[in-house]
Structure 1
Amino acid sequence: MKEVVVFGGSGFLGSYVVEELARREYNVLIADTKDPPPALFGFEYVQCDVMNEEEVERAVSGRSIVYNFAGFANLDASIDQPRETIEKNVIGTINVLEACRNANLQRFIYASSAYALSSKGSFYGISKFASEKIVEEYYNRFSIPFSIVRYGSLYGERANADNAIYRWITQAYREGHIVHNGNGEEIREYIHASDAATLSVNILEDEKYENQHIVLTGVERMKQNEILQMIQEIFNDRITIEFTDTKFEGHYTVTPYSLDPSVARKLVLSEFMDFGQGLVEYAKHIHKTEISEQD
């Protein structure tokens, strides 16, 4: 059976996963509160809020595979919005899992975060950790097979202002000046959303990832100041960079992980988008978008 519903399929990463599923000939339903992006024009779509149990039940009906990318994804905003963060990420996940109890499910794939096991991440990280434990317990109690995917730092053309690289390249294009809240020594392992999507479907198609935790990040550890220098060079050194050296509240500096007994496999692609080339394509996309908005 290849009937899939992707909650949050209109969003940043979810939209790439929808494309990859369709490429592999899955029948995909996008369930989201917002319309799909232009790249997904013609895909089957239903307006669905994970907080609405009836809408969720209808979206899951007849589907054998469920991806859940829906929820509150802005870590910075979560610091001051604990109720909304917990409701959307935890209660929303429970609503989807409840609908899955009535389905003959092949796999439930939950989009978690590297912050789930971090002492950082504020209410966002807490909501992801709580949701992971709930997914595990639904398997223990109701035999709903799962894969929990802890995504690291993502970038890609469909990101929005919540994404650091989007903000930097947009600032570079519009203002010729980038402001980074930090000293630039923070380390990240960026992965393009299209590569993360490929791995997200590989996980579905390999039984060894059933009832497992998987970490998806990039393969190269880079300091933020190195990434900013790359962006500066892409713009032919016409931009300036300002480091505020302020405390980056809620975010990790070197690693998101804290001591925890649970084990997760790290999955990487043998072939992946070169980060520098990815930044160039991203800059081209921002340029094209800015030009179209001016017309």
Structure 2
Amino acid sequence: MTVLVTGGSGFIGSHVVDKLRESGFDVLVFDIIKPHRNDITFIKGDITSRDQLNNAMKDIEYVYHIAGASDINKVEKQPVNAVDLNILSTAKVLDAARLNDVARVLFASSYFVDSGKGHLYATTKKASEMICSDYNTLYGLPFTILRYGTAYGPRSRGEDVISLFVKRALSGEPLEIHGSGVQSRNFIYVEDLAKGNVAALSQVAKNRTYILEGSRAVTIRELAEIVTRIFDEDIDIRFGSKRPDDYSGDKASDISYKELKWEPETDIQDGIRRYIKWYTENK
């Protein structure tokens, strides 16, 4: 079975590629950056190019569409670019899949979609989900929507709160929290998330939507306390001004567990320890 992964050289995409290879799939990565491994086919391409996408999907059975603008702050600063990358490019991916008779497109969405937060980023993901559904209704193209929680772990961009806390702790700097720290996230270790992506290839996932998150929500204050305990050092925790409309995460849907026969395995403390080990070995 041959699978194409857009954004397969990125943080989450590269781990999805790893788990697909472990499961025996032939994998093609469509990205502007070369992937981290050599036992896959690399197609250098831009998701804004219809021609490149059409050519890349010849003889492809499944497509994971993971590429796009994922940094909420950058989306806010470059809204038109975000719409181009997250909405128009999704339509181009779906159309290329339709023209090449791809069996199914698995779309990487976000739990921000149902949170009422995330602003323009959430809007781009919600619009893309609707386009996936429309392509199924109009053209019979099957889809699976995967709403990711807050991923962390090896190969992260280094801009998420866990990465920032770890870097500050290693430097002996205080951990800075916006507001009181009661805002929460449903963090998920990236390897668990990647396994959930592979589980979604099951036929039961056809035309379904799943939430792939950690087993429980963690407040930012609790997260800071976990990091200080792991380092076992006197690290200050400082509280600053609250960001508007900060999101509080919810527990992942039981449907994801039951239908996909998948659930997150990595406890938040263990996951952070693994990330620290990777970071100190690769920084």
TM range (shorter): over 0.9
Q: CA RMSD in A?
A: 2.0
- Normalised to the residue count of structure 1, the TM-score between the two structures is 0.89
Q: How big is the shift at 1:197?
A: 0.7
- Structure 1 stretches of 5 or more lacking a match? 258-262, 291-295
- Comparing 167-176 with 195-204, which one deviates more in the overlay? 167-176
Please state if 1:177 is matched with 2:174: yes
Quick check: 1:253 aligned with 2:264?
Answer: no
Q: Cα distance, 1:264 vs. partner?
A: 9.4
Q: Which 4+ residue blocks in structure 1 deviate beyond 6 angstroms?
A: none
The code of the aligned residue for 2:19 comes to E
Give the alignment of 1:193-204 within 5 angstroms: 193-204=190-201
Q: 1:239 offset after TM fit, Å?
A: 2.2
1:45-90 deviations in Å (ceiling 9; x for gaps): 1111100111111111110100000100001221222101111000
- TM-score, normalized by length of structure 2? 0.93
Do structure 1's residue 106 and structure 2's residue 99 form an aligned pair?
Answer: no
- Unpaired segments ≥5 residues, structure 2: none
What is residue 2 of structure 2 aligned with on the other side? 3
The aligned residue for residue 48 of structure 2 is 51
The residue aligned with 1:17 is 16
Counterpart position of 2:219: 223
- In the alignment, the residues of structure 2 paired with residue 90 and residue 149 of structure 1 have an alpha-carbon distance, to the nearest angstrom, of 16
- Aligned residues, how many? 280
The correspondence of residues 1-295 of structure 1 with structure 2, limited to 5 A, is 2-37=1-36, 40-204=37-201, 206-244=202-240, 246-249=241-244, 251-253=246-248, 255=250, 265-267=255-257, 269-270=262-263, 272-290=265-283
Shift of 1:270: 4.8
Q: Deviations over 1:1-53 (max 9, x none)?
A: x111000001111111101111111100011111213xx24422111110011
Contact 1:173 1:287 in 2 (8 A): no
**Overall identity of the aligned pairs, in %:** 28
- Describe the superposition over 1:272-291 as per-residue Cα deviations: whole angstroms up to 9, x where unpaired: 1122111111111221223x
Are residues 82 and 169 of structure 1, via their aligned partners in 2, closer, same or farther at CA, if it must alter by over 3 Å?
Answer: same
Following the alignment from structure 1 to structure 2, what is the Cα–Cα distance between the partners of residues 250 and 45? 40
Displacement after TM superposition at 1:157 (Å) = 1.0
Counterparts of 2:173 and 2:4, CA distance in 1: 41
